[in-house]
Homo-oligomer: A and B are copies of this chain.
Amino acid sequence: MFYHDRELQYKVRVDKPNPVFARMLQQAIGGIEGEIRVCLQYLFQGWGSRGPQKYRNMLLETGTEEIAHIEMLATAVALNLEGAPMSVQDEFAKDKMVGAVLGGIDPRHVLSSGLAAMAVDANGVPFNGSWVVGSGNLAADMHANVMAEATGRVLATRLWEATDDPGMKDMLAFLIARDTMHQNQWLAVLEEIGGLAGAHPIPNSFPQSEENQNFNYSFVSTYIGNDTTEGGRWTSGPSIDGKGEFRVEKAQPLGGIPQLAPPEPRGHAQTE
């Protein structure tokens, strides 16, 4: 169950409202790197957790924190939209700057939401539930979470660079810090459940003896030329999971040419 506090987790202050920045902030709300995604991802992982209770608890706590981040960003969008241009015509002709701003805003902030945040990304593409990854495998999910916080922190640092509003920079410095912690948090779980050698290959519950032994540690080079290795770590030496030895193999076809049956008559292929 959940409870709400009317105060925000951290201060959201906008010194100079900028509707173009409002649009950019939408990426951190409804984009694939955004807070709705991590919020639902951690909550769904927690709700489906079938292992030790402490992971469920922790996932649900951090998922709950992420709702507060959506709240902060939604507030920041609304504050940045104050004073946005509401008309294309007169001002457009008279004031080039308004025209420029108009080009950069999300028109739906004016037309659809009445100067408020929406569940969409910086291009107005709606949040998509397919981004909510929970596989039932804790290690796979922790990697999904590290990835979400890594791309999320990259996004937040780019937003930080894109503005010189002190209030916005302060809010983003908070969110960037939280992403630092969350990256570490998911990595801590990975360490706890065995680290690289213990966890990989994921899932570690599938008997590796059943996988094809000729291809599980080979870099298959599909390069049409010759010098494929370039000394990459993945071309020789022990594999990172400690269970094999890297090697390089030129791609070659082992599967023959596939032969499908002729068309089923009731499927009405063309008579050629």
Contacts of A48 in B (CB 8 A): 74, 78, 113-117, 260
Nearest Cβ on chain B to A88's Cβ, whole angstroms: 5
Measured between alpha carbons, how far is A134 from B24 in the docked complex, in Å?
Answer: 18
For window 42-78 of A, CB contacts with B under 8 Å fall at 43-44, 47-54, 57-58, 60-65, 67-68, 70-72, 74-75, 78
Contact across chains for B71 and A157 when beta carbons are under 8 A apart = no
Given A160-B210, A177-B216; A270-B139 close (CB under 8 Å): yes
Give the contact-size bracket for chain A.
35 or more
What is the total number of copies of this protein in its complex?
A: 6
Q: Is the CB of A181 within 8 A of B216?
A: yes
Could you tell me if A27 and B111 are in contact, using CB atoms closer than 8 angstroms?
yes
Minimum distance in angstroms from A12 CB to a CB of chain B: 6
Residue of A18, A79, A120, A187 with highest tally of chain B CB at under 10 A: A187
Q: A47-B75, A86-B266 are in contact. Are A219 and B2 (CB under 8 A)?
A: no
Which A residues from 96 to 110 make CB contacts under 8 A with B?
Answer: 96-97, 99-104, 106-108, 110
Return A271 CB to nearest CB of chain B, in Å: 5
Please, which residues of chain B bring their CB within 8 A of the CB of A111?
A: 24, 27, 31, 122, 155, 158-159, 162
Contacts A128-B127, A162-B88; A61 near B205 (Cβ below 8 A): no
Q: Are A103 and B102 in contact (CB under 8 A)?
A: yes
Q: Are A154 and B203 in contact (CB under 8 A)?
A: yes
Known: A7-B253, A9-B253, A100-B96. A135 touches B115 (CB 8 A): no
Other-chain contact of A27, B50, B99, B107, B114 (Cβ < 8 Å): B107
Residues A6-31 near B (CB distance < 8 A)? 6-12, 16, 18, 20-21, 23-24, 27, 30-31
- Chain B residue with minimal CB distance to A144? B147
CA distance A20 to B263 in the complex (A): 19
CA distance A126 to B119 in the complex (A): 14
Complex partner residue of A6 from B57, B160, B185, B272, CB under 8 angstroms? B57
Kindly state the separation between the CA atoms of A113 and B140 in the bound complex, as whole angstroms. Answer: 11
Q: Once the chains bind, are B251 and A174 in contact (CB under 8 Å)?
A: no
CB contact under 8 A between A64 and B184, given known A48-B114, A74-B47: no
Partner among B47, B138, B268 whose Cβ is within 8 Å of the Cβ of A117: B47
A180 contact set on B, CB distance < 8 A: 200-201, 208, 211, 216-217, 241, 244
- Contact between B143 and A143, CB atoms less than 8 A apart: yes
Q: Are A163 and B3 in contact (CB under 8 A)?
A: no
Contact partner, A177, options B79, B139, B215, Cβ 8 Å: B215
Pick the contact of A96 from B20, B97, B147 — CB < 8 Å?
Answer: B97
Q: Are A50 and B261 in contact (CB under 8 A)?
A: yes
